[in-house]
């Protein structure tokens, strides 16, 4: 499980913890400046994304939520606002349901509890359907 303190300029404010969805680890970095404006941010890379290790298993929602809980606990974060994008939204809902005392609030962006295997017939179709459009460099 990887994490990075992206911005630590906040004083007396609740830390923000963005959680990426599938294929969005680098995209979340672009939004961190907006999320973190005036707030401390710890960006969490789910396993297999960003700076995290790539283990052979543990890519289910419950394990990902447990990973996020472990990061929050190990960093002794005080009930952060945890925001999940795409599949990260599912992870955040699972986290709030299984460890409600760890989070102060959750935010879901472009997510929701869906079972992709019920909608998409193959990994190839999932990749084609879920790959974000190339909108160029917006920095």
Q: Which fold has domain 2-130?
A: Rossmann fold (3.40.50)
pLDDT at 27: 58
Listed by start position, the domains of the chain span 2-130
pLDDT at 69: 95
pLDDT band of 117, cuts 50, 70, 90: confident
Q: pLDDT, tens digit, for every residue of 75-87?
A: 888 999 898 888 8
Q: pLDDT, tens digit, for every residue of 94-103?
A: 999 999 999 9
CA angle, 106 then 1 then 32, to 5°: 50
Query: Any residues with CB less than 8 A from the CB of 16 and at least 6 apart, and which?
Result: 35, 36, 39, 40, 41, 42, 80, 81, 83
* Predicted confidence (pLDDT) at residue 111 exceeds the cutoff of 80: no
Q: pLDDT, tens digit, for every residue of 38-75?
A: 677 787 888 887 777 888 898 899 999 999 999 899 88
């Amino acid at each position: 499980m990887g994490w990075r303190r992206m911005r630590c300029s906040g004083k007396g404010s609740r830390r923000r913890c963005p959680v990426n969805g599938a294929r969005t680890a680098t995209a979340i970095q672009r939004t961190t400046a907006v999320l973190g404006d005036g707030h401390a941010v710890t960006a969490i890379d789910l396993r297999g994304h960003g700076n995290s290790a790539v283990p052979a298993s543990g890519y289910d929602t419950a394990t990902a939520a447990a990973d996020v809980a472990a990061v929050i606990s190990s960093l002794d974060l005080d009930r952060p606002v945890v925001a999940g994008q795409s599949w990260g939204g599912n992870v955040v809902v699972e986290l709030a349901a299984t460890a409600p005392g760890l989070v102060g609030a959750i935010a879901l962006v472009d997510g929701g509890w869906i079972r992709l295997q019920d909608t998409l017939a193959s990994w190839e179709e999932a990749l084609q359907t879920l790959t974000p459009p190339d909108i160029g460099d917006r920095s």
